[in-house]
Structure 1
Amino acid sequence: MSLTMKLQINPLFSHLNPNLKSHKTHFNLQTPIYHSNKLTPLFKICTRKMMTSHVIKSSLIEPDGGVVVDLIVPENERGLKRLEAEQMVKVGLTKIDLEWVHVISEGWASPLKGFMREDEYLQSLHFNSLKGDDGCVVNMSLPIVLAVDDETKDRICGANDVALVGPDGNIVAILRSIEIYKHNKEERIARTWGTIAPGLPYVEEAITPAGNWLIGGDLEVLSPIKYNDGLDNYRLSPKQLREEFDRRKADAVFAFQLRNPVHNGHALLMNDTRKRLLDLGYKNPVLLLHPLGGYTKADDVPLDVRMEQHSKVLEDGVLDPETTIVSIFPSPMHYAGPTEVQWHAKARINAGANFYIVGRDPAGMGHPTEKRDLYDPDHGKKVLSMAPGLEKLNILPFRVAAYDTVAKKMAFFDPSRAKDFLFISGTKMRTFARTGESPPNGFMCPGGWDVLVKYYASLQTEEAATPAAVSA
C-alpha cells in the first residue's frame, strides 16, 4: 500500500522553482516530501533583509539570523589578538570542546556567536530554540556550552575575557564578556537524552568528567581550526559550501548525514531523491553527502576510513561526482535521537541545504542498559516536521531499503513480499567485515567493501599484538 501525503511549499523559497507556484501545491508521492507548519502561528518566524556587505549569493535558503556567522579573526589582526590573549587567564579545551569552537566559528550554529550564556542555555535546554531580541525564533536543540572546574573558576576571579587553549597547548580563541553559571549535569542529561541511564557515550566522554560550572561568552577565533589529518580539504564551512552550490548552479540542495559507510541502499535512496526532485521540475539538484566528523563512539567506523570508503563509492560510480559534494560536518555526535536530529537539520540550513533526508531512528542508538532502541524510530522525522525554527526546511522521509534476494540488489522494501527481503544491520555488516565474509552481491560497491575489510583486518592485527606488547 502506497502512502500519500501533501507537500507544502514554504513561501520563503517557493520562488526557487517555477513549477512550485503555490504554497498549497499538492503532490502524490509514494514516499512524500513534507513539512507540517502546524506550530507556525505560535512563533514569530522571520525573514530578514541581508546587509549588502554580507550578501551570500546562494538564494536556496536563508541562514538563521540572515547571515552566516564568521568568528575567525582577520589575518592582519591575529598578531595583536594573540599578544592580548597571552596576558589573559587561560582556560583549557578538550578535543570535543575544540570541535565545538570549530562549529561555532564557521557559523554552523548561526546566529550563535559563542559558547552559550545562561539565558541561551536555558532556552536551548527547555525550548530547543533561541529567541532573538527582535522576537525571531531559531532552532537550537542542543546546548553548546563550555565547562570549567572549580579551580579554573577561581583563577578567572572576575576577569571579563579569557583565552581558550587547545589540547596541544596553543591559544585558539578569546572568549569575551564572559558569564559563569552552574552546570547542573543531571538536568542537562535528562532533558537532552530523556534518560540518565549509565552508558550514554557522549555523557561519559564529555559531561560526567567535566567541571561543575559553565562559561559563556562571545568567541574570537584566532585562526581557522585545522586537524592536519589529511582531511582538512573536506571540511568546507557553510560559506564555502554555499559558494560551491552557486558554482555548480544548484537549484536545490538535499543533505544526507550519516556516520556509517555508504552501502547501495543509501545510494539508492540518494539517487531516488534526486530523481524525485527532477520530477518536481528542478533542473540541477545537488546532493550534500555530509558525514559527521566530530566525536563518535568507540565502535563506530573512524572518520578516515569512512572518507576513504565514500571516495570509493564515487569512484565506482554508485553516486555521480558531478552532482554530489562530499564534505565533513565537524560537529560531535550526541546520539540523542529526536533532540539531536533537529541540530543536524538546523546546521544544514546554515550551509544552504533546503531539503533534508531523515531516516529511521536518526541520531539514535540502542538503550545503554536494556535490549531495545533508546528512541521510537519514527519520532525523529515526526519531530522534524513540527520543530519550531525549521519551517523553511523541507523534510524528505527515508524510504526503507533492504536486500532483495530475488533481484539480488538493494531495493525499496515491499511489504507485499516481505519474505524476499534481507535486512543487513550495521552490526551484521561489521560482523561480515571482521570475519572476512562477503555480504550478498550488490550490497556495497566492491571498492568500498574492500576498505572496510582492510580496516577490520588491521584491528584484528592490533588486537593480536596487544597481549605480547603488554607482557613484554
Structure 2
Amino acid sequence: MPTTMSLAVKLHVTSSFHLGNSTKTTSIPSFNAKFRPASISHFNPLISTLYEHRMSNSPKSKSSFVIKSSLIEPDGGALVDLVVPGSLRAAKTAEAESMPKVGLTKIDLEWVHVLSEGWASPLRGFMREDEYLQSLHFNFYRMKDGTIVNMSLPIVLAIDDATKERIGSSSNVGLVAANGDLIGILRSIEIFKHHKEERIARTWGTTAPGLPYAEEVITPAGNWLIGGDLEVLKPIKYDDGLDHYRLSPKQLREEFDRRKADAVFAFQLRNPVHNGHALLMNDTRKRLLEMGFKNPILLLHPLGGFTKADDVPLDVRMQQHSKVLEDGVLDPETTIVSIFPSPMHYAGPTEVQWHAKARINAGANFYIVGRDPAGMGHPTEKRDLYDPDHGKKVLSMAPGLEKLNILPFRVAAYDTEAKKMAFFDPSRTEDFLFISGTKVRMVGFSRI
C-alpha cells in the first residue's frame, strides 16, 4: 500500500468496525492529499441572496462593487478593545496596586484574554447579574438600544467568601494572575450569588458528574460572581512559543483585508486536522468560488484554551496544523491558521453559538458546522450527550446570529473503493470507514 505523507504527521489508523453481524479489521494507509470535491449538503437561505448580489456585481457587469473582507460587522458595530494604551499603563498599574485584589486562575486568565481582544464584543468585562441571567436563560442579551446579540455562554468571574469580605465596599478591584502578576482592573463592580447547580444545568442540560469544565472550573469555584468593566494592563501572552498564532479579531480583519478576501469561512477544531476535514475545507472553498466569490479565505481556527485531558495538546496540534500548510494540503495563500483563545465547555448546541458568535467578531461571514459540534460523549452513559444534528439546527435559528451564513456539511469518511476520503454515501455504507472512534497513532511526536 502507498505510504504517502498525509496531514502534518503520518496517521496510522487501525479500526475495528461492524458491518452487519461481522467484524472486520482494516489498516488504512496515509491518505492522498488530492480530493474530489463534492457539494455541501445545504446552505443557509441567506447565501442565495448573497449569490444573487455577487452575480449582479460581478466584473462582467462592470459594477463599482469593492472587494472588502469585513463583510460582517462585529456585534455592537465596533470591536471592543480593553487593553490599556501604553501611555497610560504605568498610571493604571499604580492605581491597581492600591485596590483590593482578586486572584485569577489559569482559565480565568483565558477569559480575560477573550474579553480584552473583543471576541465577546460588545461585552466590556465580566458579566454583571442582568447580563449573566440573560445569557444563562436566553442565550443572548439585549443592548441598551434594543439590539439582541448572541451570548450563549456566561463569561463570569467567581470569588470566594474571603475575597468578598476583603473587597468590602470597594467599587474597583485589581486582578492578579496565579504567578502574582497584576493583570488588570475591574471597575464599578457588582457581586452576586453564584448558583452553581443552576448554571451547570442551564449550560449543559444535565448535572451528571464528569462534565470536564464543570468539574474543573465551576464546582470548585467560589460562591459569588463578580462583574464589572474590565481594563487589561497589557496584552495577554503565554510565552509558550505559540503567541505568534494568537491573532486578535482586529489583526485577523486586517489580514483578511491585506489578502483582499471577499469571503471568510471559519472552521474550528480542538484536535488534529484529518483528511476528512481537509476534504471539507477544500470543497467549501470550491463551492464559494462557484457562487461567485473571487477570493474566499479560510480561517482555520483551532481552540486554544482549556480542553479535557484526553484531547491532543495544543503544541502538538499546532505543529500538525503548520505541516498541513507546509505540505500544501491546504493552500497557505488562502488559509490563515490562528489560535482561538477561548476555553472549551463541551456544551454542544449551547456552546457552538458562542463559537460562531466569536468568529463574527473576527470578520468571518461563513461558519462551517458539522456533526455534534462542541459535543462529547455522555460522562456516565455510553451515548452522545447531545443529538448530533442539533448544533447545526440551533445555529440556523439562534437569535443574534442571523447575519452569519451557516454552512452545514456532510460526514466525510474513508472510501475503501476509491481508496481516499470522500463524503459519505449512505447507499454504499459498507464501503466507508469512519475516523471517529478509531485508534490513531501519531508518528514523530513524543505524545501518543
Code of the aligned partner of 1:183:
H
**Matching of residue 450 in structure 1 with residue 443 in structure 2:** yes
CA distance in structure 1 between the aligned counterparts of 2:152 and 2:114, rounded to whole angstroms: 15
1:297 aligns with 2:290: no
What is the rounded CA distance, in whole Å, between the counterparts of 2:127 and 2:356 in structure 1? Answer: 20
Work out whether residues 17 and 282 of structure 1, in 8 Å CA contact, stay in contact via their aligned partners in 2.
no
- C-alpha distance in 1 between matches for 2:319 and 2:54: 39
What's the CA shift for 1:16? 10
**Alpha carbons 1:291, 1:329 under 8 Å: kept:** yes
For residue 72 of structure 2, give the secondary structure of its aligned residue in structure 1.
coil
TM-score computed with the length of structure 2 as normaliser: 0.87
Q: 1:355 aligns with which of 352, 363, 366?
A: 366
Contact 2:42 2:409 in 1 (8 A): no
Higher helix share: 1
Indicate the residue corresponding to 1:275 in structure 2: 286
Q: Distance in 1 between matches of 2:165 and 2:425?
A: 62
Q: Which has the higher strand share?
A: 2
- Residues 1:6 and 1:93: Cα distance change in structure 2 (over 3 Å): closer
> Deviation at 1:59?
2.8
Report the CA distance between 1:4 and its aligned residue.
7.2
Equivalent residue for 1:396? 407
Per the TM alignment, residue 72 of structure 1 is displaced from its structure 2 partner at its CA by 0.3
Match of 1:384 in 2: 395
- Offset at 1:315? 1.1
**1:244 and 1:396, CA in 2 relative to 1: closer, same or farther beyond 3 A?**
same
SS at the partner of 1:216? strand
Structure 1 residue 10: deviation in Å?
7.1
Percent of residue pairs bearing the same amino acid type: 79
Q: Which residue of 2 aligns with 1:19?
A: 55
Letter in 2 for 1:170: D
Q: How does 1:5-404 map to 2 (within 5 A)?
A: 7-9=44-46, 14=50, 17-19=53-55, 58-404=69-415
Q: Is residue 96–residue 173 contact of structure 2 (8 Å, CA) maintained in 1?
A: yes
Q: In the alignment, which residue of structure 1 is the partner of 2:440?
A: 432
Amino acid at match of 1:19: M
**Structure 1 154/376 Cα, relative in aligned 2: closer, same or farther at 3 Å?**
same
Aligned mates of 2:84, 2:323 — CA distance in 1: 37
Q: Equivalent residue for 1:34?
A: none
2:266, 2:298 within 8 Å by CA — same for their partners in 1? Answer: yes
Which letter does structure 2 place at the counterpart of 1:281? Answer: G
Q: Structure 2: where are the runs of 5+ without partners?
A: 1-38, 58-67
Further displaced range: 175-184 or 2-11: 2-11
Q: Secondary structure at the match of 2:46?
A: coil
Shift in Å, 1:20: 6.6
Secondary structure (helix, strand or coil) at the match of 1:18 reads helix
Distance 1:211 1:69, change over 3 A: same
Tell me how large the CA RMSD over aligned residues is: 1.7
Q: How far apart in 2 are the matches of 1:372 and 1:314?
A: 35
Shift of 1:131: 0.1
SS at match of 2:284: helix
* Matches of 2:367 and 2:105, distance apart in 1: 31
Q: Distance in 1 between matches of 2:211 and 2:74?
A: 32
Distance in 1 separating the partners of 2:41 and 2:316? 39
Q: Which string of whole-angstrom CA distances, capped at 9 and with x for unpartnered residues, describes residues 279-301 of structure 1? A: 00000000000000000000000
Q: CA deviation at 1:416?
A: 1.4
Residues 132-171 of structure 1 show CA distances to partners (whole Å, capped at 9, x for unaligned) of 1110000000000000000000000010100000111111
Superposed CA offset, 1:72-123 (max 9, x none) = 0000100000000000001000000000000000000000000000000000
2:69·2:260 contact (CA, 8 Å) conserved in 1? no
* Equivalent residue, structure 1, for 2:28: none
Code of the aligned partner of 2:153: L
The structure whose RCO (Cα within 8 Å, separation 6+) is larger is 2
**Residues 43 and 407, structure 2, Cα contact 8 Å, conserved in 1:** no
Q: Matched residues in 2 for 1:321 and 1:407: separation?
A: 27
Deviation at 1:415, TM superposition (A): 1.1
Give the stretch that moved more between structures: 397-406 or 133-142. Answer: 397-406
Offset, 1:215: 0.1
Q: Which whole-Å CA distance do the structure 1 matches of 2:140 and 2:353 have between them?
A: 10
Instruction: State the alpha-carbon separation in 1 of the partners of residues 210 and 278 from structure 2.
Output: 32
Q: Distance in 1 between matches of 2:143 and 2:131?
A: 10
Paired letter, 1:219 = L
2-structure distance, mates of 1:308, 1:393: 30
1:14 and 1:20 in contact (8 A); partners too: no
- Number of aligned residue pairs: 400
1:405-416 aligned at under 5 Å gives the runs 405-416=416-427
Following superposition, the deviation at residue 9 of structure 1 comes to 2.5
2:56 and 2:372 map into 1 onto residues whose CA distance is 30
State the distance in 2 between where 1:245 and 1:343 align: 22
2:316 is aligned with what amino acid?
V
Change (3 A) 1:129 1:10: farther
Deviation at 1:8, TM superposition (A): 2.4
Aligned-partner Cα distance in 1 for 2:51–2:411: 31
Mind listing any 5+ residue stretches in structure 1 that lack a counterpart?
22-56, 434-448, 457-472
Instruction: Return the alpha-carbon distance in structure 1 between the equivalents of residues 150 and 447 of structure 2.
Output: 38
- C-alpha distance 9-19 of structure 1, shift in aligned 2 (>3 A): farther
SS for the counterpart of 1:419 is helix
Runs of 4+ aligned residues of structure 1 deviating over 2 Å after TM superposition are: 2-11, 13-18
Deviation at 1:18, TM superposition (A): 2.5
TM-score normalised per structure 1: 0.82
Contact 1:278/1:284, CA 8 A, preserved across alignment: yes
Counterpart of 2:416 in structure 1: which amino acid? T
